[in-house]
Amino acid sequence: MIGERVAIVEDMPGVTRDRIYSKAEWLNREFNVIDTGGIELGEEPLLVQMRAQAELAIKEADVIIFIVNGREGVTSADQEVANLLFRSDKPVVLGVNKIDNPDMHEQLYEFYSLGMDTPYPISGSHGLGLGDLLDKVIEHFPEEVSDPYGDDTIRIALIGRPNVGKSSLVNAMLGEERVIVSDIPGTTRDAIDTAFSQDEQEYVLIDTAGMRKRGKVYEATEKYSVLRSLKAIERSNVVLVVINAEEGLIEQDKKIAGYAHEAGRAVIIVVNKWDAVKKDDKTLQNFTQKLRDELLYLTYAPILFVSAKTKQRLHTVLPMVQKVSENHHLRVPTNVLNDMVMDAVAMNPTPTDKGRRLKINYVTQVAVEPPTFVFFVNEPELMHFSYERFLENRLRDTFEFEGTPIKIIARKKNS
């Protein structure tokens, strides 16, 4: 469905995560796919936790694809899962997996006993039948909601674990000096968009406070809160990755921040509850260095140390949001861009491989949000990642790109 084999460990410095979420697209509709890993029935602690995780994913989903094993036939476990899905009152599409050839289609009839609509024969390993399955899936998608805000409005998503103080930060940012326009229900369940203005700039806070844990089920299934973060990130321009200063950076923070980076959004790291940390003259420097070491892929993101409780440095947040938003939209004139690249190549000549040297003919910026640059070259495969990083650093040194990722694409000259 997503068109690639998803690895358990991400090949990116500073982030390791189990990839249970991925993006997919069908008939021009983009959507997130959650792999629940399987619902095992039993009372062992691990099985109870797995079932709880799957139930939470079901609650978050708009459509459920129920996968059964076509070679095994209907099992008692399938019946139990079907009953669970009936209680969810969500649209369910039944996919009968491991049907690798047309001769096996007669095995489908048995699965009508589950009480679902038409069972769709598929083969996950061979990609067979997925088109018909996805046609049915997108029939159940909710209507796309039009954007109620203007193009000049900066949409700010606050993401982070449930206990980092996002709600307090929202409340503190919406002080008396702000003009609150309205509370508009967001496209995400349990999220409220708060529109307000300051200094003639319109903002919308997309609060994911609904990610907070509710009882033991949520305590055991914190990674599913990522789904709400993903939805908020998709609708935002600027993402505030909120970290609890008392606890420091943990693995869940890295996972959530990684999604903001991959989505190409402008990012600010906000360390909240800084008032509660015992400090000496090196505390700030050491904390900053640890964040940089652990979040190597977010070296471009500014770090703000604030306190929602005391409002310490809170006045720095919105000016930084506006700055990184401008950088996220920055366009560099083509002639200036090519002059910079010529200087960069003169300083550090392009790499060679087996007697062939990379030649950069021309550079142009093709997009913003994030700024995206196409380098027309003689042989794209000669663009080594280390030289690409050098070019990105030169772009950052020359132009104001704080807070925004940069994309570099190498294309053959005649493409």
307 assigned ligand-binding residue: no
Q: Is 35 annotated as a binding residue?
A: yes
Q: Is 236 exposed, middle or buried (0-12, 13-18, 19+ CB in 10 A)?
A: buried
Residue 165, annotated as binding a ligand: yes
Question: Is 75 marked within a binding site?
Answer: no
Least Cα distance to 325 among 378, 264, 403, 397 occurs for 403
CA nearest 241: which of 315, 177, 293, 317? 317
- Does residue 209 have a known ligand-binding role? yes
On whether 349 is known to bind a ligand per the annotation, the reply is: no
- Burial level of 82, CB count in 10 A (0-12/13-18/19+)? buried
Where do runs of H (alpha helix) occur along 295-374?
A: 317-328, 334-347
Known binding residue 97? Answer is: yes
Given a contact cutoff of 8 angstroms between Cβ atoms, the answer to whether 152 and 237 are in contact is: no
Task: Tell whether residue 282 is among the known ligand binding residues.
Answer: no
Beta bridge mates, 245: none
Longest dimension (CA), the chain: 74
Residue 207 annotated as lining a ligand binding site: yes
Cα angle, residue 406 at apex, residues 368 and 303 outer, rounded to 5°: 105
* Listed residue (308, 7, 284, 353) closest to 163, CA to CA: 308
Q: Helix (H, G, I), strand (E, B), or coil: what is residue 127?
A: coil
Got the DSSP string for 105-122?
A: GGGGGGGGGG--SPPEE-
The pairing of strands 266-272 and 303-305 is parallel
166 is in an annotated binding site: yes
Is residue 211 marked as binding?
A: yes
Residue 135 annotated as binding site:
no
- Angle (deg, nearest 10), helices 226-234 and 251-262: 30
Name the nearest CA neighbour of 15 among 187, 285, 259, 248.
Answer: 259
Q: How far apart (Å, rounded) are the C-alpha atoms in residues 206 and 239?
A: 9
100 is in an annotated binding site: yes
Q: Is 313 annotated as a binding residue?
A: no
Q: Is 38 annotated as a binding residue?
A: yes
**351 annotated ligand-binding residue:** no
- Is 405 annotated in a binding site? The answer is no
Ligand-binding annotation for 299, yes or no, is: no
List the binding residues: 35-39, 97-100, 160-167, 207-211, 272-275
List the binding residues for GTP: 35-39, 97-100, 160-167, 207-211, 272-275
